[in-house]
Amino acid sequence: MTVCSPATGHVIDSVPQVDAAAVAAVIGELRVAQPGWADLSARARAAHLLRYRDWLLDNEFRLAQMLQRETGKPWAEANLEIPYIVDAINYYTRTAPRLLADRAPERHGMIAATKRQHLVQRPYPVVGVITPWNFPLGLSLLDAVPALLAGAAVVVKPSEFTPLTVAAAIEGWTAVGAPRVLECVIGAGETGAAVVDNVDYVQFTGSARTGKAIAHAAAERLIPCGLELGGKDAMIVLDDADLARAANAAVWGALANSGQMCVSVERVYVEAGVYDEFLRLVVEKLKALRVGEDDQQFRYDVGPLVTGAQLAIVCDHVDDAVSRGATIVVGGAPIEGTSFFQPTLLVDVDHTMLCMQRETFGPTLPVMKVRDEDEAVQLANDSDYGLSATVFSGDRARAERIARRLDAGAVNINDVFGNLFTLSMPQGGWKQSGLGRRNGADAVLKYARPQAIVSARVQPASEFIWYPYTAIRGAIVHRVGRLLGARDLLRRFS
């Protein structure tokens, strides 16, 4: 498999693909190693993760260089993924021991009063993590770290377009002397399908189409899956907003990573009273952006689209919008002979256009004027997606009121991408944006199966409700049940 730079088109490296039989063999080896890993305490597993964190920091520059070469990201963005993972490791190693600790739930009911209750968390043996090309290292490890802490073994299948940094980072797990419970398999669709066919839990990030296929395959095997799929995130700008901050947020939210984020700002609804001023500020910000192939000198802000297929989608959405009456204010075209697309501002847009309906995943910003907040909410909710959203307002109570009306798994107020950095909060999509959650307690506990262990506190030769059934025993059980269950004297003694 040949890996090419999206910025230059030059070949970076060639790597062997792992076929279905080899995937099954790798997962078989993980199954052998996993019980010993699960037998360690959560704190002992955390100690391995903390050594791995130090290895990532020691190799940060080398990994960031590799990441930049295979994604084309500007240097500022290539440098974000490892600090993000380091933060996640620090957070989850601190919280996982408490989340995974055995506990004794409060007893309730007449029969339960005679039992000891013990709730333990048992990991899924092998977790498969399948990740896309937009944040190859960050997304792979963000899912792998809590799964490892839960006691699972993990196999990561990175995108075939950006496998190099993930493979190199996972080699670091072996370098720190950790048990062989983290592996990487490289390949395209056949490799990913083999992962789904052999693991006990699948965590997938990518398109809704592929996510549905994975959900179907998981259902056939009766294994759980977590899916973070596409987004069409809306930003609402109200007439009392700080327009300078809102414009900066809209431009960064739409164009960070060249718009190749599931939580990118993909449509903006602005109240009529501030629309013109907001637009003026956005135009000013967009025109100042630098587009090009970056090095390690922070010379550029916007990089290329990672794949030719994605570039074609962006072109199609812009062309469709123009054909339906939209106006290009800034940009609007690919840079000839490259994978770069100009930062683009579209106005006069409406919901008949692809750029307002489907995920664009590119450096475009469609802005629509609305009468009031009610129209903004109605349009924001008029989408098959519901990953996250943003509200800008100078009145926090007003913004929170609107946030509670939006059909999205997360809402940022006077901010953009804030929910990505609040690891204690769950992150997950509604509607076609996926199933399950990242971050928060769910990030660790979803990889563990709760097991209820119940034992008798009092142990007569036979329990009162066991055989033989008799009329007198039945009457006593019935009477005691009413006495304990009813909440008024009439029903207790009737």
Q: In 101-135, which residue ranges form alpha helices assigned H by DSSP?
A: none
Tell me, rounded to whole angstroms, the distance of Cα 322 from its chain centroid. 32
Q: Which of 184, 262, 266, 271 is catalytic?
A: 262
Whose tokens are 């601190």? That residue is: 94
Q: Are 299 and 292 in contact (CB under 8 A)?
A: yes
Tally of CB atoms within 10 A around 190: 12
**Rounded-to-integer distance, Cα 337 and Cα 12, Å:** 19
Catalytic residue status for 463: no
**Rounded-to-integer distance, Cα 431 and Cα 383, Å:** 9
At 120, is the secondary structure helix, strand, or coil? Answer: strand
Catalytic residue status for 190: no
Using N-to-C axis directions, what is the helix angle for 164-175 and 136-150, rounded to 10°? 40
Contact partners, residue 43, CB within 8 Å, separation at least 6: 97
**Rounded-to-integer distance, Cα 46 and Cα 52, Å:** 10
At 16, is the secondary structure helix, strand, or coil? Answer: coil
Sign of CA dihedral 283, 133, 180, 225: positive
Q: Which of 183, 228, 293, 373 is catalytic?
A: 228
Whose tokens are 């142990």? That residue is: 459
Q: In 107-207, which residue ranges form alpha helices assigned H by DSSP?
A: 136-150, 164-175, 189-198
Tell me, rounded to whole angstroms, the distance of Cα 235 from its chain centroid. 19
Tally of CB atoms within 10 A around 453: 11
Residue 72 backbone class (left: φ over 0; alpha: ψ -120 to 50; beta: rest): left
Token pair, residue 69, equals 């070469």
Sign of CA dihedral 374, 351, 289, 416: positive
Q: Are 464 and 473 in contact (CB under 8 A)?
A: yes
**Rounded-to-integer distance, Cα 253 and Cα 385, Å:** 17
**Rounded-to-integer distance, Cα 426 and Cα 419, Å:** 8
Tally of CB atoms within 10 A around 148: 30
**Rounded-to-integer distance, Cα 35 and Cα 124, Å:** 10
Residue type, 67: L
Go through the chain and tell me how many residues it has: 494
Strand partners, 344: 364
Q: Are 285 and 248 in contact (CB under 8 A)?
A: yes
Q: Are 239 and 271 in contact (CB under 8 A)?
A: yes
At 304, is the secondary structure helix, strand, or coil? Answer: coil
Q: Which residues are catalytic?
A: 228, 262
